[in-house]
């Protein structure tokens, strides 16, 4: 039996993870700034999450959302303390893409419109609906036709928002474009987007699958912009490593949804609710958003100091612990050298090295990663000059 390779093989056999580190089968220790595309934000094998999962496994593992459970009631109480403002309804699913699918379905039912607005360089997932609002043509074109109509506007461009009209069901936006290059939204852009969607009666879907749950320095990244979404999708870090996603809705939308409008065999299963419960407890008890804000600022400062003399570095940018090094060349070789230096990272856009560290990252780790980045960029530059 062979595993289908939809991802490039990194050439590592990872056998263990703890906090911000992983180990391969040769005993080598790596600083994990990849973190499963940001999933392990609360650290690998977080003790609180493991304890909740073990306890739940001894009780019951499988139930559909048709049945109440004590752990679900506990989860709802925990979520109530960190939920997006005024979004008092939640439905759990298994992946970010599934959350986007539900958000799109809801927007069409509520508005009775079809058109969706997304943004260039966006990434929302690879299932058919989520893929339709994902910008990269390499992902989309082999599977077209997807859901229609979808129009892509310029991100952070106020003039482009004039194209949003009263035939639009929803606008979907990332507060920080992750896959697109770690590009934070501008405050005036997000405020204008909120104003025009309210004016046209279009729903504003904020995709916080990667940015949410403390990573950017606030519990939810939209809070940086003094706006409120109509629908918010979350995932990745919200389960502390367990596969789970969520869609948050206000009462005025939730009241219009009916039995059978959506479903998920595994969505909101007891293990998922246990993981979310534990993750919420960690988020609050460890003051994770504030740690992410402070550590993100320090990490960017160290990176800028270490890399300031490289002309091949266009920009170092980010929000909280979502950081990108924008280069003047494809970052693949640099990412490989980082890995050789025992630092795991990932690509974003065409030219960006992306760091998505667990909140547990230390200043020592930041120095380690910055020195590795310096070596990676330097060696990549020499290779390009030699060729």
Q: Which residue ranges are tagged as binding site for pyridoxal 5'-phosphate?
A: 123, 207-210, 265
Residues in CB range of 3: below 8 A, 6 or more apart: none
Quote the CA–CA distance of 344 and 130 in Å, as a whole number: 27
Look-up: residue for tokens 């595994």?
Answer: 266
Q: What is the CA radius of gyration of the chain?
A: 21
Contact 199, 191 (CB under 8 A): no
CA–CA distance from 128 to each of 97, 101, 102, 262 (Å)?
A: 9, 8, 12, 16
Answer whether 301's CB lies under 8 Å from 103's CB: no
**Torsion over CA of 32, 33, 34 and 36, rounded to 10 degrees?**
60
The CA distance from 20 to 126, in Å, is: 27
Distances (CA, A) of 106 to 83, 254, 265, 266, 382: 19, 9, 19, 20, 52
Q: How many CA atoms lie within 13 A of 92 on its CB side?
A: 27
Indicate the annotated binding residues.
123, 126, 207-210, 264-265
Task: Give the alpha-carbon dihedral of 156, 162, 163, 166, to 10 degrees.
Answer: 120
Classify residue 298 as exposed, middle or buried by CB count within 10 Å of its CB (0-12, 13-18, 19+): middle
* Binding-site residue set for substrate: 126, 264
Q: CA nearest 37: which of 223, 237, 307, 286?
A: 237
């Amino acid at each position: 039996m062979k595993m289908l390779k939809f991802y490039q093989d990194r050439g590592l056999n990872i056998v263990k993870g703890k906090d911000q580190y992983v180990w391969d089968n040769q005993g080598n220790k790596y600083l994990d700034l990849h973190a499963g595309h940001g999933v392990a934000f609360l650290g690998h094998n977080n003790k609180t999450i493991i304890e909740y999962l073990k306890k739940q496994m001894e009780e019951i593992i499988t139930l559909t959302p048709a049945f109440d459970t004590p752990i679900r009631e506990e989860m709802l109480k925990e979520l109530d303390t960190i939920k997006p403002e005024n979004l008092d309804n939640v439905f759990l699913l298994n992946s970010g893409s599934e959350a986007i699918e539900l958000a799109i379905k809801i927007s069409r039912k509520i508005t009775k419109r079809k058109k969706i607005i997304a943004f260039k360089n966006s990434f929302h997932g690879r299932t058919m609906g989520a893929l339709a609002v994902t910008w990269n043509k390499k992902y989309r074109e082999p599977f077209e036709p997807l859901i229609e109509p979808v129009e892509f506007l310029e991100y952070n461009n106020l003039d482009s928002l004039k194209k949003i009209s009263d035939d639009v069901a929803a606008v979907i936006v990332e507060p920080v474009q992750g896959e697109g290059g770690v590009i934070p939204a501008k405050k005036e852009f997000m405020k204008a987007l909120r104003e025009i969607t309210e004016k046209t009666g279009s729903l504003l879907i904020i995709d916080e699958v990667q940015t949410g749950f403390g990573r950017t320095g606030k519990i939810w990244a939209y809070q940086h912009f003094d706006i409120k979404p109509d629908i918010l999708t979350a995932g990745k870090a919200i389960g502390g490593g367990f596969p789970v996603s969520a869609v948050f809705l206000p009462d005025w939308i939730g009241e219009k949804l009916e039995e059978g409008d959506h479903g998920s065999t595994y969505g909101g299963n007891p293990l998922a609710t246990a993981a979310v419960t534990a993750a919420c407890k960690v988020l609050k008890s460890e003051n994770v958003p504030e740690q992410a804000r402070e550590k993100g600022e320090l990490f960017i400062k160290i990176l800028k100091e270490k890399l300031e003399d490289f002309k091949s570095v266009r920009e170092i940018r980010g929000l909280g612990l979502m950081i990108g090094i924008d280069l003047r060349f494809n970052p693949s070789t640099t990412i490989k050298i980082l890995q050789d230096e025992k630092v795991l990272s990932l690509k974003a856009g065409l030219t960006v090295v992306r760091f998505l560290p667990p909140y547990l990252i230390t200043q020592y780790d930041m120095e380690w990663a910055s020195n590795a980045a310096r070596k990676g960029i330097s060696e990549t530059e020499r290779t390009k000059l030699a060729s």
